Amino acid sequence: MSQIFEGIRVLDLTNNLAGPITTAMLADFGAEVIKVERPFFGDDSRAWPVQIGGASSLFVQANRGKKSIVLDFKNSADMETLQKLVKKSDILVESFRPGVMKKQNLTYDELCKLNPAIIMCSVSAYGQTGPYRDRPGYDLIAQAMSGVMSINGHPDGPPMRLGPAVADNTTAYHAFGAISAALFHRSRTGEGQFIDISLLECMTMQIDCFEIASAGNEATRNGNHSNMLTPYGVFGQKSGGMMIAALNPKLWNILTSLMDRPDLADDPKFVTVAGRNENQKELIPLIDEWVDSFTDMNKLEKLLMKNNIPCARVRTVKDVIDDPHLNARGTIAEVDVPFSKAMPKLKIRGTAIKFSKTPGKPGPAPALGQHQEEILQLLNE
């Protein structure tokens, strides 16, 4: 076996990002993922920017390594084809609003009649049960409702969204792990099962300060600095930013020495982490000023690293995509885009999970209906 999910077939009835990223990760590690798309338009993300030569970079990222077939849920012959595919599949992942699968007679109970061992994963905004189940939702709505926006941003500013699609990605990672666990369970018992994953709940898992709210206090925004640890944040008002973490006494003493401020190391206000955190408003500007005294952030980064201070220059996405470490480890990967003449290859996120014996590798994303005949032929085998 060269890949961990080799021999596993996945029916992908997902759209947008969270569901497709889930199944793309399964494809990275060898699963045969059959993406079922609607006629003419396919997945919504095919039309999203950035468009290069008629191909969406987001679609390529979220649908790498898959096969595409076009089926119309309003067509009885196409629904019969889908049912036949269910019988030949191990996993079905869908991301419709709750109730849609029931209208199509594709609930987990109905699927089990066709394939008792099937694993079904439903990805939705709020889950299949509960007061919010019927509400529409997207990544940013989950960010807002989870409380994450309320603790992101500057204290004197409004709540801020997180730049990346964090809710979609986090949900995909949860779903990938859940499906893997369900496959392990099936290997021991022969039983499939139903998995209910929601953007809101997965985004809520990002909150690491529930204890503050549980104690009766409101967690607040603190800009580029931690509410609980100091110095632990992005320093420098003019320089572009340097992330510095000097949390234990040894690191704090080294940092104050590099700053040529030994007085700070002995100041009772700053001797402990708790004291430094309590006196953030006085301490942060002092470190900001020191960081801004460097005209070259690379030089500062080298100085901090030489003295074993955990740090990182704040980099652009362009910096990251060309990073030699991430490229060497396959975390940044290049895939073919055969259906785009203007973009024959594209750099995307690769696999962050590194298996020693069954490594993953992203494959090309499909054109709409590219594998129609191949998949229909499968039903005759």
Question: Which residues belong to the active site?
Answer: 168
Look at residue 157 and give its three-state secondary structure.
coil
The one-letter amino acid code at 26 reads: L
How many residues are given for the chain?
381
> 124: which strand partners?
198
In angstroms, the Cα distances linking 309 to 258, 271, 296, 301 are 10, 17, 17, 9
Q: Torsion angle, CA of 151/152/153/157, rounded to 10 degrees?
A: -40
Give the C-alpha separation, 102 to 142, whole Å.
24
Look at residue 349 and give its three-state secondary structure.
strand
* DSSP code of residue 78: H
Give the C-alpha separation, 157 to 371, whole Å.
50
Give the C-alpha separation, 106 to 109, whole Å.
8
> What phi, psi does 234 have (nearest 5°)?
-100, 125
